Every structure is written in C-alpha cells, then in structure tokens.
Amino acid sequence: MTADEGTWVYAVAGSIREEWFNGTAGVAGRPVRAVTAAGLAAAVTRVSLAEFGEEPLHRHMEDLAWLEATARAHHHVIEIVARHGPVIPMRLATVYYSDAGVADLLARRQAEFADVLTWITARTEWGVKAYAAQRPAEPGPPGPSRQAGPATGGPAGEVTGAGPEGPAGPAGPEGPGGTGRGAAYLRRRRMALSAKQEARQAAISGADAVHAGLAKLAVAVQLRPLQGPQLTGQASQMVLNGAYLVDDARSGEFTAAAQNLASQYPGIRIELTGPWPPYSFAAVDQDAAVDQDAAVDQDAAVDQDAAADRGREPGR
Amino acid sequence: MNAVAPRGTGGEPHRGERAAALPVTVSPALPSAEDTAGPPAAGSAAGQQPVALVDLLDRVLAGGVVIMGEVRLSIADVDLVTVSLQTLISSVGTALGGPAAGREPDRDR
C-alpha cells in the first residue's frame, strides 16, 4: 500500500487459496497472499523495498545467508502451490510495486499463462546430474596422503571398473626402464592424465546415453549448464545436468530408467533430484515451452534446440 | 514417492575418502503430491532432508518464468546469475561440507 513496499511474486496458478499458507512464512518472514485476476491467481508477499528494491536486492544477492533464506522461502511457497495443482514458478526476485501491477500482469498474459498451465498439468520436473564416477587424477606431485599403494599407479583408473581399457596399469612406482624418480614421476603423471582423459570420455558418452534414454521418457528436456566442482562440492567432474519434464503417469518408469541406465554405465555416477515444480519448463515466451502439438509425439517434443543451445561443453 | 533407491552395494567400500560412488542417489525436492500433510521439505529445521542449496539455486535463479517486474534485478539476464553463483562458490562449497573451494584447480574454465 505504501510507496516503500513492493509485491514479491512466487508463482502463478489457476487458483490459490490463502489458507494454504497458514503458518507458512514467505520471504522476509512475511505472510503469503493471493492476487487474483483474469481467472488466474498469483502467490505474493508484500515486501519492503528497502530490502527488496533493485539496489538492495543486488547487494543481498551476494549474501549467501540472505540468498538461501530467500530462495528456500520462495521455493517453499511454490511447493505448496504445486501440491494443489499445476504451478508456474517465477524466477527469484520478481517484484512489482503493487498488487495491482501483479493483477495487470495476470490479465495481460492470461492466455500464455493458461497455455503453460495446461501444458504442465500432471507433469513433473526431474533433475538428473551425472558425474565422472571417480575423482580426477591429481595433477600435482604424488599425493602426500596417498602414496602408500605401489601398484595403484595413481588415483585414476582403478575405481570405476568402467572397462578393461584402464591404462593405469601395473607399472608400479618405478616402472620398467625408469631411470630415476623424476622420470618415474613424469611417466606416472602422463598415465594418470591420459587415464583421466579416457575416464572423462567414458563419462561423457555414458552421460549422453543416459540423457538419450531419459529423454525418450520425457515430454521436454533441458540441458542446464554444468556446474564446476567448486559449486557442486564434489571432486568429480559433472558431465550432465539435465532437467526432464515427465508425465506423472511415467514417473516410476522414469526413475527406474535412471537407475537402470546408471548401472549400465559405471563410468558415471548419477544423482536424481525431484520431483520439482516445473522451474525449467514453465517459460511463458521462451522456446523451452514445446508446443502442444509437438508434445503428442514424444520424440519430437524433446527440445533438441534447447539441448543444443545449452551445450554440453564436454571437453572444456 | 521415489522408486529409485540408492543402490546400496553393501560391500566394496570404494576406497575414496569421500563421496561414496553409488550410481544413483536421490534427493527429494518435493513431497509427493498427495503428501499434503507432510512437513515442508525446504526451510524447515525439522528432520526432513532439505533440498540441496546448489540444486535449489540452480532452479530458482536460472529457472522459473522471467517476467519483467517493475522492480527488477537484471537477474533476468543470465550474467547476474552466473556472477552470483560464482561469488557464492566458496561459501557454498563450505556450506555443503564439500571440498573447500580451490581444493582442485578448475582447469576447465
């Protein structure tokens, strides 16, 4: 109401009842409300522009504690709406000056929102991430912590049993012909590097196969940017970060397929997350929203363009 | 809700110091649709395993519908998302209890 407040938008749905959020705090600990217009509803919270205005938002985005609390509150509200029916999640930090602005949005884009809601009805997003199944070889000198095993020839190569081709052979600490510690080290390092490369190649082709297998069960897919080891907190390389929109009727089939495919490609380790609200597939005016006709034919519906655009960037 | 259980190959302790290499791990993101009474999966201090922050940020920052709010972060453009995630890397790594940032030089970028 006052000029120093804004309206944070969580999600759009066909209908939203405020009692769903009894006892639920939205962002900034504030209550969640519904704005209705044009046969649609948005879940919103009034927020202070001193905290959620453009400039303060920019600052807060760099504050992990703030970002986490806000992201979890945002997600939680979307989750609650999702329990009651199809939901279109808004990206974090969609803020209007007033409820009226939100109502206007609903009215202006009524047709698009309605189409998307229809499209995502009874469908769920699943996330599948794949990692190279082993820790990459340490590029540095022989690991101080891990030099005990003479026959292991370095950390790479032995873990997965991905295939018989493991080049991290039996060379031993001082392989045949080695003349000195320096030469032996260089040899080990070369082998470790090529083992790492082969392992990565195996992981990438495994990830491709897993993705292809899962895409057949999905009505749409989106390859998301790969996350680096620092972000994932995992030493192993991420080789697939896919989102899959799956008919609810096929959820079991999808998760079972994820498991089956994973066991077929031991060079990778798979993480399945979900079910998610359709964060990756609710785009109103973007290509990711495969049109409904195409959706009839599953294979055609798989969004190859998006897949290509997002890029696998396997090597680099 | 999840048909996939982490495949527990009980034996073979996979010598690594960290990261047991189960082929499939499952993280709940949502309670099942029927589970309306269930406690929230996110934001609750209660027992339920919360969604991993990195997965959550990957979706709320990079996913979702981008509508130009009247007040808007230029978060709409991917750049800020990337920037935010990059600046958060070290903190996230710590928060996740993973290997500390910089533990392994990221040679791929």
Q: ω into residue B13 within 30 of 0, thus cis?
A: no
pTM comes to 0.67
Of how many residues is chain B composed?
109
- Name the band, by pLDDT with cuts 50, 70 and 90, for residue B68: low
Does B91 lie at the interface with A, CB-CB under 8 angstroms? yes
**CA proximity to A224, closest of A267, A281, A264:** A281
Residue-level pLDDT at A2: 59
The residue-averaged pLDDT of B54-66 equals 83
Residue-level pLDDT at A125: 97
Q: What is the pLDDT of residues A37-82, one digit of tens each?
A: 999 999 999 999 999 988 888 888 878 889 889 999 999 999 999 9
Tokens linked to B95? 């928060």
- Asked if residues A295 and A245 have their Cβ atoms less than 8 Å apart, the reply is no
Q: Is residue B46 part of a domain?
A: no
Q: ω into residue B50 within 30 of 0, thus cis?
A: no
Higher pLDDT, A75 or B105: A75
Of how many residues is chain A composed?
316
Backbone angles phi, psi at A279, to 5 degrees: -55, -40
Q: What is the number of structural domains in chain B?
A: 1
Interface subset of A 205-244, CB within 8 angstroms of B: 224-225, 227-237, 241, 243
Residue-level pLDDT at A257: 96
Residue-level pLDDT at B52: 83
Q: Which residue of B has its CA nearest to A253?
A: B3
Could you say which DSSP state residue A240 is in? E
Q: Is A159 close to B21, i.e. CB distance below 8 A?
A: yes
Residue-level pLDDT at A53: 87
CA A204 from centre of chain:
17
Residue-level pLDDT at B45: 33
Does residue B53 sit in helix, strand or coil? helix
Q: Is A233 close to B22, i.e. CB distance below 8 A?
A: no
Q: Is A243 close to B63, i.e. CB distance below 8 A?
A: yes
Backbone angles phi, psi at A63, to 5 degrees: -105, 110
Would you say the ipTM is above 0.85? no
Measured from the Cβ of residue A115, the count of other Cβ atoms closer than 10 Å reads 15
Residue reference for tokens 């609903």: A106
Residue-level pLDDT at B74: 45
Residue-level pLDDT at A239: 93
Residue-level pLDDT at A148: 37
Q: Please list the rounded mean pLDDT of every run of 10 residues in chain A (316 residues).
A: 83 97 95 98 96 85 86 96 96 89 93 95 96 60 39 34 38 52 88 83 91 96 84 82 96 95 89 94 57 35 38 37
Task: Give Cβ neighbours of residue A31 (< 8 Å, ≥ 6 apart).
Answer: A21, A25, A45
Higher pLDDT, B56 or A177: B56
Task: Give Cβ neighbours of residue A265 (< 8 Å, ≥ 6 apart).
Answer: A162, A202, A206, A207, A209, A210
Residue-level pLDDT at B63: 79
CATH topology for the A124-133+203-310 domain: Alpha-Beta Plaits (3.30.70)
Segments making up each domain of chain A, as ranges: 5-114, 124-133+203-310, 150-192
Tokens linked to A248? 């609810």
Higher pLDDT, B67 or A304: B67
Could you list the residue range(s) of the whole structural domain that residue B83 is in? 53-95
Tokens linked to B68? 């130009």
Q: Is A90 close to B64, i.e. CB distance below 8 A?
A: yes
Does A280 lie at the interface with B, CB-CB under 8 angstroms? yes
Residue-level pLDDT at B87: 52
**CA proximity to A190, closest of A223, A221, A153, A215:** A153
Higher pLDDT, A280 or B25: A280
Could you say which DSSP state residue A293 is in? H
- Asked if residues A105 and A205 have their Cβ atoms less than 8 Å apart, the reply is no
Question: Strand A5-13 relative to strand A94-96: parallel, antiparallel, unpaired?
Answer: antiparallel
The residue-averaged pLDDT of B56-79 equals 67
